[in-house]
Structure 1
Amino acid sequence: MSNLAIGSVRALALAVALVATTASGQDRSVPALARNRYRSGEETLRAFAPVSEATRTSIVKLNVNSATVALATIMTSDGLALTKASEIKKGKLTAWLATEKEVDAEILATDEDEDVALVRVHGPGLKPVRWASDSVSVGQWAITPGIADTPQAVGIISALPRRIRPTRAYIGIEFDLKAARPQIAALMEGLGAEKAGLKQGDIIVRVNETGVTNREQVIEIVRDFREGQILKLRLQRAGQEFEKDIKLMPLPASLAEFGFGGRRGLGELNGAVSTRAEGFEQAIEHDTVLQPWLCGGPLVNLDGQAVGLNIAHASRVSTYALPAPLVKSLFEKLSQSAVRRAGS
C-alpha cells in the first residue's frame, strides 16, 4: 500500500474514532449518528477500503457444497492457505477469489489443538499475506478484510495474546466432600466415567502423568482439556490400582440449561458464536463483531499487514485471533505434516 493510501486510512480512522467519541458524549436530545457511520457501517468501512485493496488477493472465501463456511489466509503464491478447521465440514470444498472466480480447494492437514487447517487453493493470482513485524497494542485498529473492496468489519484490540481456556468438559463424577483424597461419591449418568466402568468409592491417584492427592488437583487438571479429548486415570479400588481412559463430554442438556455447562450459553445469547470458540494456547482479543464464517482470514493493521488469524467469535464483544508468530509456526508444522503424508 502506498504511503499516501496509508496516511489516508489513518486520518479517516482517526476521524471515525473522534466522531464516535463525540457522539457518545452528546446529550440524548441530539439526533443519533446515522447507522452507516457506525463502526461497521457502510460509510465507515469505505474509509478502510485501501486496506482491503492491499489484502484481498491474499484471502479466499471457502464454500462447502456451495455454502460459505470460512475465510482462508493465503500463505504462499502457489495456494497454500490456513483457515479455521472446525468450520470445514465434509463435502465439496471450493474457494472464491477476489476476481469472483470459484476454484477447487482441498484440506491437506489439520491442527486440532489450535483449530487450524492447511488448505490448497487451486487458483491463479494469489499473493501471500504480509505479516506485521511489530507486536500488537491494546487500542489499535483491528481490521477484518475479505475478498470485497471494503473490509468485512473493523474493531479495536482489547487484550494482548494470552491463553484461552476451553469450554468446560466433564469426566462425569461427583467427589466425596468428606474424604481427604479424590474419592468418587457418585457418577453422572451417560458421561465418560460411567461408560468406562468407574464405581462409587474409587480413588483417583493420577491423571495422565500427574499424581494427585486431592479433588482440587483433579478439577484443575481436567479444566485444561476440552470435549472429546481422552484422559488416562489411574485409580485405586479395594487396594488394587488400575487405569481407565475417560472421554471428556459436555453436561447433559438437563443440567447445561441451568448454566452448569460453562460460558457458551451466554455467548449464544449475544449472537452467533463459532462452533469452537475457546481453548487456544495464545490468542489476541478484539471487539469486532464477526459472523462465524468470517473466521479463518487475517486480522490486519492500518498498514494492511496481518497481526493474526481470526480463529473464533466467542461473544458479542469478543473475537479471538491467533497471533502472527503462532500462525507462522503452525504453518510450518502443517506444511511438514502434509509433505510427510504425501510421501507415505
Structure 2
Amino acid sequence: MFLLTGIFYSSFFTIGITAADLSYLNRADRLNGWRTLEALDDLFQDHRASVVEILDNDKQVALGTIVSDDGFIVTKASEFGQLLEIRLSDYSKHVAEQVSVDEANDLALLKIRASGLRPVDWLDSGDTQMGQWVMSPHEDKTQVRIGVISASTRQVPKQFGALGVVTVDSADYLTENDLLDPNTLADHLNKGARPIDRWLKNEISNAAKSALAADLNDPIHQTPFLRLILRDLNFMIFERILYAEGRFEGVSLSETTQKAILETDNRIRRSVLNRMLLADCFPGLIKAGKSGARVLDVVADSAAEQADLEPGDLIMAINASGVGGSQDVVRLIRKHTAGQTITISLVRDGSALSKSVTLGFFDVTFPDQDVNIALSGDISDRRTGFQKIIQHDMPLSPKAMGGPLMDLEGRVIGINIARYDRVATYALPADLVQSLIQKMK
C-alpha cells in the first residue's frame, strides 16, 4: 500500500497537476442532483398516481398516500385544518367525507368518494436494513428524492411541552404594587445621606433621575417614576457593591442577608439578593413576598403568545396545581407533552384570569437550545411521539410528509411522518401503518 501510494504521488507531481486543477463532482451528478434524479424518474413514474396532495385553504400542506382503490388515503394528521381538500394526480379535487386520526402516531385516514384509484404496493418493513437505498416523492409529488435508511427502527418518545415564557419568582421581582410608598425611596435618593443612597442614585438611568425630580404625590408623575425605577432595581446587580468599603455605612443588614452574601457564588440568585438588600436598605418600603411566578418575557410564536399571555402576568396555578415560583412552572409544564392543552390561572392588573394553552415543542419554542435544530430550516411541528419509526436521510420538506417511503422497486416500506432535523426524516413502518388503517376504518 505504501509503495503504491508513493508511486501515485510520484506520478502525480511528475505530470505537473496542481490541486487547483482537480475538479469536484458536478452538482447535477450528486446524490439528489438533477441527472441522478432523472435516472430514477422512470422508477417513480408508475407510482405517481398513488400520491395525492393535501390542501388546506387551497394551499398544499402535505402529501397523502392512496391505500385502497375505493378512496382511502393516509397522511400526516397535524398538518391540515378545517378547510381540507385532496387533489389527485389528475388534478381533480375532492372533499374528505370521513376523517379518522390516530393521535399517538399523528396518522390520519381520509376517505373520499372515488373508485378505480391506484393503491400502493406494500412491502414488509421488517425486511428493511440500515444503508438500504430508498426514495420518496418531493413536496410537489412530481419529483423524487433518494437517500438511505440511516438508523435502526425504534420508538420515539413524545417530547415534553413548552409554554414559551421567561419567569422569575414573584418575590424576586418588584412591581408597582410591591412598593408601600414610592416617596420613601425618592426621599432617600434625593437626600443622598448614606453611601448606598448616593451609589443607587448614580446607578439608575437618566430617565429615572428625571422622574425622581418630579412631584411624586401626583399620580401622573408617580406612575412613570415607579415604572422606570422598578426596571432599574430589578436588573441592578447589588453584589457589585457588597465588598466596597463603607458602602453599607448606616445600613443594618439582617443575618439572613449577611448569610446570603456569603453564598452568592452558586446558591443565591442575584434577583433574590437584590430584594433582600433593598428590604434592608429601605425598611418598610417593600411588601412581604408572595407566591406565584412573574412573566418577564413571552417568546414570539410560542404557545404562551398564542394564548395571549403578557409580560407582567403573575402565574398562580397550572391545572389547579399551585405555583410557588419559577421552578414550579418548569416542573408542572414538564408533566405534559407537546400538543396537550393546560389551564393557567393568573393575575393581571389585579384581575384573576384563566387561559387555555396548547403546549408547543421545546426545541421549536427555544431553538437556540439545540444548534442542530436552529440550523435545520423547515422542520415538522409534530416530530416526536411515535410508536415505531424508520429513519432516513432524504432532504424532504415538511410538506412532503404523508407521502410514501419506497424501495427502488417502488414498494412502500413506510409513510413519511416527520421532518425531524436537517439530516433525519422519520417514517412510520408499513406494518404499523397497515394495522392502524384497520383500526381507523
Q: Tell me, yes or no, whether TM beats 0.5.
A: yes
Q: Is it true that 1:256 corresponds to 2:362 in the alignment? A: no
Q: What's the CA shift string for 1:102-148, capped at 9, x where partnerless?
A: 22131521112211111123445421111112521000112003698
For the residues of structure 2 that align with 1:113 and 1:269, how far apart are their CA atoms?
A: 28
Q: What's the CA shift string for 1:237-279, capped at 9, x where partnerless?
A: xxxxxxxxx97734999x93652xxx5x742532111121222
Task: Provide the residue aligned with 2:102 in structure 1.
Answer: 111
For the residues of structure 1 that align with 2:46 and 2:428, how far apart are their CA atoms?
A: 21
Q: Is it true that 1:283 corresponds to 2:389 in the alignment? A: yes
For the residues of structure 1 that align with 2:440 and 2:315, how far apart are their CA atoms?
A: 31
Q: What's the CA shift string for 1:181-202, capped at 9, x where partnerless?
A: xxxx975756998233423579
Q: What's the CA shift string for 1:164-212, capped at 9, x where partnerless?
A: 23333158999xxx9xxxxxx975756998233423579xxxxxxxxxx
What are the equivalent positions in structure 2 for 1:69-218 lying under 5 Å apart? Answer: 69-97=61-89, 100-106=90-96, 107-133=98-124, 134-145=126-137, 151-169=143-161, 194-199=317-322
The percentage of counterpart residues that share the same residue type is 31
Q: What's the CA shift string for 1:30-62, capped at 9, x where partnerless?
A: 222222222112111121123312321221122
* Change beyond 3 A, Cα 1:122–1:46: farther
Conservation of the 8 A alpha-carbon contact between 1:52 and 1:148: no
For the residues of structure 2 that align with 1:197 and 1:164, how far apart are their CA atoms?
A: 30
Which stretches in structure 1 are left out of the alignment for 5+ residues?
1-26, 179-184, 203-214, 232-245, 336-344
Higher share in strand: 1
Higher share in helix: 2
Amino acid at match of 2:91: K
Amino acid at match of 1:166: K
For the residues of structure 2 that align with 1:315 and 1:105, how far apart are their CA atoms?
A: 32
Conservation of the 8 A alpha-carbon contact between 2:63 and 2:401: yes
For the residues of structure 1 that align with 2:362 and 2:38, how far apart are their CA atoms?
A: 46
Amino acid at match of 1:91: L
For the residues of structure 2 that align with 1:91 and 1:69, how far apart are their CA atoms?
A: 11
Which stretches in structure 2 are left out of the alignment for 5+ residues?
1-18, 169-266, 268-290, 296-308, 344-355
Q: What's the CA shift string for 1:205-233, capped at 9, x where partnerless?
A: xxxxxxxxxx9xx97x95783331569xx
Tell me how far 1:287 sits from its aligned partner: 0.5
Task: Provide the residue aligned with 1:234 in structure 2.
Answer: none
For the residues of structure 2 that align with 1:299 and 1:309, how far apart are their CA atoms?
A: 6
The SS at the match of 1:114 is: coil
Task: Provide the residue aligned with 2:41 in structure 1.
Answer: 49
Q: What's the CA shift string for 1:138-160, capped at 9, x where partnerless?
A: 00112003698964211110012
Aligned length: 266
For the residues of structure 1 that align with 2:362 and 2:52, how far apart are their CA atoms?
A: 38
* Change beyond 3 A, Cα 1:29–1:194: farther
Task: Provide the residue aligned with 1:322 in structure 2.
Answer: 428
Task: Provide the residue aligned with 1:310 in structure 2.
Answer: 416
Conservation of the 8 A alpha-carbon contact between 2:161 and 2:362: no
For the residues of structure 2 that align with 1:126 and 1:326, how far apart are their CA atoms?
A: 22
Amino acid at match of 1:75: V
Conservation of the 8 A alpha-carbon contact between 1:57 and 1:125: no
Amino acid at match of 2:321: L
Conservation of the 8 A alpha-carbon contact between 2:146 and 2:394: yes
Conservation of the 8 A alpha-carbon contact between 1:105 and 1:119: no
The SS at the match of 2:359 is: coil
Q: What's the CA shift string for 1:61-83, capped at 9, x where partnerless?
A: 22223211111111110010100
Tell me how far 1:324 sits from its aligned partner: 0.9
Conservation of the 8 A alpha-carbon contact between 2:293 and 2:315: no
For the residues of structure 1 that align with 2:422 and 2:93, how far apart are their CA atoms?
A: 33
Which stretch of the first structure deviates more once superposed, 143-152 or 277-286? Answer: 143-152
Amino acid at match of 1:103: K
Amino acid at match of 2:381: T
1:225 aligned to 321, 330, 337, which one?
337
Conservation of the 8 A alpha-carbon contact between 1:311 and 1:320: yes
Larger Rg: 2
Task: Provide the residue aligned with 2:211 in structure 1.
Answer: none
The SS at the match of 1:46 is: helix
Task: Provide the residue aligned with 1:208 in structure 2.
Answer: none
For the residues of structure 1 that align with 2:394 and 2:140, how far apart are their CA atoms?
A: 18
